Amino acid sequence: MAHGIREDGSRVLLGVYLGCHETTEAWKLALDDLVARGLREPLLVITDGNPGLIAVVKRTWPTAPRQRCIVHRIRNVFESSSGSHKSSARSRAAPG
């Protein structure tokens, strides 16, 4: 699934791509479709840590800045934390 954020801050669905794998080839087809439908190089690309997606973004839009999604990064930290540290990390990350 690809979303965009307009300059006014509104969110727009750019595409939904069904597939059983997040392969480099699947991401290439998705980004090629977006470009073919007129999407210009984004001002910022935010991705999860999928290496295939990152590689295709770099090839498709070589000068577009890319940022790792903070939600995915936090989830990865929690998943790699040991059981005793996991609850402590979650409570420290909770808002408020």
Give yes or no for residue 96 having a pLDDT over 60. Answer: no
Q: What is the pLDDT of residue 76?
A: 73
Is 8 within a domain?
yes
Q: What is the pLDDT of residue 94?
A: 62
Range of the domain at 34: 2-69
Share of the chain above pLDDT 70, in %: 85
In the chain, the number of structural domains is 1
Is 50 within a domain?
yes
User: In this structure, what DSSP letter does residue 41 have?
Assistant: P
Kindly indicate the confidence band of residue 77, based on its pLDDT and cuts at 50, 70 and 90. confident
Is 56 within a domain?
yes
Is 35 within a domain?
yes
DSSP one-letter string for the chain: -EEEE-TTS-EEEEE----S---HHHHHHHHHHHHHTTPPPPS-EEE-S-HHHHHHHHHHSTTS-EEE-HHHHHHHHHHHS-HHHHHHHHHHHS--
pTM of the model: 0.73
Give yes or no for residue 65 having a pLDDT over 60. Answer: yes
Is 78 within a domain?
no
